[in-house]
Amino acid sequence: MAPDLPCEDDSAGLPDYANAVVEAIGDRMDLVVVAQSFGGFTAPLVCERVAVDLVVLVAPMVPDPGEAPADYWTNTRYEDEVRESYDDTIALFYQDVPPELAAEAMKRGRTQSEARMHEPSPLTAWPDVPTRVVLCRDDRLFPPSFIRRVVKERLSITPDEIDGGHTPALSRPKELAECLEAYRDDIG
């Protein structure tokens, strides 16, 4: 299930994002929370509110406790990372997505409000939940070396790797699904 987050609402902050996910979960059990990119800020907050068996972060931002999303870039030394620069959204996020699918994704895309990005996350500690990270080897936004370093520094784990750019659910859905199913099978 992919919950609809209030990303366009200037009054919504990270707790509101977590509320939307918790509400969508309802009374479901045996949960695996999968968060992609900026969703890495929401996933651990959800784990504080519902019983979760596993967290999977895909091409993620990995927040430190109390970190404001706007501070992530400086705190992770993102600007020091060797990477190419892309001014085109498709070239940055969808370079390996079939063109017609990338166009549809762009058409359906929503604006991410930045009104509350300077507010510290209410996260006080990473949840005591098994966590896996999927690194995308061709990600232009978060290069593999950046993800490897940040995941090691912040979670003390080594990410798993698959081919693909920043949006593997669109470019490599089979590979991503196989990876997620293997994680689910590992936890029973």
* pLDDT attached to residue 83: 86
Question: How many of the other CB atoms lie within 10 Å of CB of 52?
Answer: 20
Which run of H or E residues covers position 109?
none
Identify whether the C-beta of residue 45 lies closer than 8 Å to the C-beta of residue 24.
no
3-state SS class at 43: helix
Q: Which domains does the chain have, with CATH numbers?
A: 14-183 (3.40.50.1820)
- Write down the pTM of the prediction: 0.95
* pLDDT attached to residue 55: 98
Q: Is the pLDDT of residue 153 over 80?
A: yes
Question: How many of the other CB atoms lie within 10 Å of CB of 129?
Answer: 18
Q: Encoding tokens for residue 55?
A: 């967290």
What DSSP designation does 71 have?
A: G
Mean per-residue pLDDT over the chain, rounded: 96
- How far apart CA 121 and CA 129 sit, in angstroms, is 18
* pLDDT attached to residue 154: 98
Question: 63 CB contacts (<8 Å, ≥6 apart)?
Answer: 40, 41, 44, 69, 72, 121, 123, 154
Q: Encoding tokens for residue 166?
A: 């920043």
pLDDT level of residue 151 (50, 70, 90 thresholds): very high
Identify whether the C-beta of residue 102 lies closer than 8 Å to the C-beta of residue 171.
no
pLDDT level of residue 30 (50, 70, 90 thresholds): very high
